[in-house]
Structure 1
Amino acid sequence: MNMQEAAEQADRMLDGTLDAVRPPVRWTHRPTTTGTCDVWRRRAVMTEISPQRRGAFLGVVERYWRGAGYEISSVRNSREFPAVYARSPDGFGISLTVGGRGQVFLEAATPCVRHSGVPRPRTPANGPDYQGGPVPWPNVRDDFWSSSGAAV
C-alpha cells in the first residue's frame, strides 16, 4: 500500500464514521499532513453538539467503530473534553476528540506505507469547505444535536 491508497482508506474510515451519525451532522475537512511514510486525514464537525448530547454522539461513534471491528484503545472520560481512540485491524488509528466550544474533531492516521503523492480527499465536505483556511467554531444548529434537552 502506498500513501495515496492509505489516505483513501483513511477517508473511507472517516466517511463511514460520519455516515453512522443520525441525524447527520455538517462537517468540513481539516488539513492533511504527511510524514515520511504516513498520512493524517482530519475533519471538523461544524454542527454544534451540546454538552447534553456529547455522550450520545460519542456513544454512536464508539458503537460504529466496535461494529466495524476497530479496537477501542483509550477513552478520555472528561466532561468538557471527552475523546475516544481506536485502531483498525489493519493498523490505522482513528480518534474522536471534543475541543473548545464542544467542537468535535475526527482524525485517521495511517500506518507506515510506501511513499507516494497524496491527493486532496475525494469526499466533498457536506458543509462549507474551509480547506486552505482556518476552520471556525461550530456554527450549524441542529434540532437534536444542539439541543440542551436530555438525550433519550
Structure 2
Amino acid sequence: MKAMRRWKFPRVVASVMLASGCLGGCSVFGGDDHERANVKQAVKRIDAVLDDTFKAIRPRIKWREGPAHISAHRNSFTNTANGEVGVDRKRYVRTKVSKAKLAELIKAVYKHWSAAGYEIGEMNPRGPSFSATASDGCVVHFSVGGYGNISVSASVDVSSDAVSGDIWGEEGDKFPKAPNGGPDYAPDVRDPYWSK
C-alpha cells in the first residue's frame, strides 16, 4: 500500500507539469504555427485597434504613441522562452481632459468597444481604468493615472521566438523630457471642448 502512495505524487506532479507546458505554449491565435499571426501582423492589429478607438472620440483628442514592445513569455517551471510573445503599444493622451469631461471620454471609449463586440472587463473605480477583449484575443486597456495622465493600450499574443524589448522601426513618437530625465507623459495641449 505504501509503495502505491509513493508513486501517486510523482505521477500527479508529472501530469501538472505536462499540462502547464502545453497551456504555456498555447496562443490566442488558433491553428498551426504558419497560420498564426507574426509580430509584424500583431503590430498592425494593435495599431488598427488604437486607431479605431481614437477615431471614435469626438471631438478628436491629440495623443503621442509609445514604442511597440515585445514581452517574451516564459515557461513557469523551466524559465525558458515558450515560443510565444506578447506584442503591445500604449498611446498617451496629450489633450488635457477636465474632470467634468472625463466621464464623457470614458463613456465614448466604453461605447465604442462594446459596439465593436469586445467583452468588457470590470471597471476599476481607482484611476479609473477598464479593459476589453476582442474575439481574436486582442486586449485593450483604458487608464487614468496621476496628474491627469490618460493612456490607451492594446496587446495581443503571437507565436514567435523574438526576445523582449522594443520593436525596431516601431519606436513611436519622441516625448519631451520630464524633470526626472525620463519621458514626460503629462497632457500638454488645451482643447476648447475637452479642457473646459
1:6 corresponding residue in structure 2: 42
2:174 corresponding residue in structure 1: 130
Any gaps of 5 or more consecutive residues in structure 1?
148-152
Q: TM-score, normalising length from structure 2?
A: 0.65
Mapping for residues 74-113 of structure 1, pairs under 5 Å: 74-78=122-126, 81-113=127-159
Mapping for residues 1-152 of structure 1, pairs under 5 Å: 1-36=37-72, 37-78=85-126, 81-115=127-161, 119-120=169-170, 129-130=173-174, 134-147=183-196
Distance 1:139 1:66, change over 3 A: same
2:27 corresponding residue in structure 1: none
In structure 2, C-alpha distance between the alignment counterparts of 1:114 and 1:29, rounded to whole Å: 24
In structure 1, C-alpha distance between the alignment counterparts of 2:175 and 2:136, rounded to whole Å: 28
Shift of 1:7: 1.1
Shift of 1:112: 3.2
Runs of 4 or more, structure 1, over 6 Å off, are none
The letter for the 1-side match of 2:118 is Y
In structure 2, C-alpha distance between the alignment counterparts of 1:140 and 1:71, rounded to whole Å: 32
The letter for the 2-side match of 1:21 is I
Bigger radius of gyration: 2
Distance 1:15 1:33, change over 3 A: same
Aligned-residue sequence identity (percent) comes to 29
Distance 1:39 1:69, change over 3 A: same
Bigger fraction of residues in helix? 2
RMSD across aligned positions (CA): 2.0
Q: Which moved more, 1:102-111 or 1:14-23?
A: 102-111
Q: TM-score, normalising length from structure 1?
A: 0.83
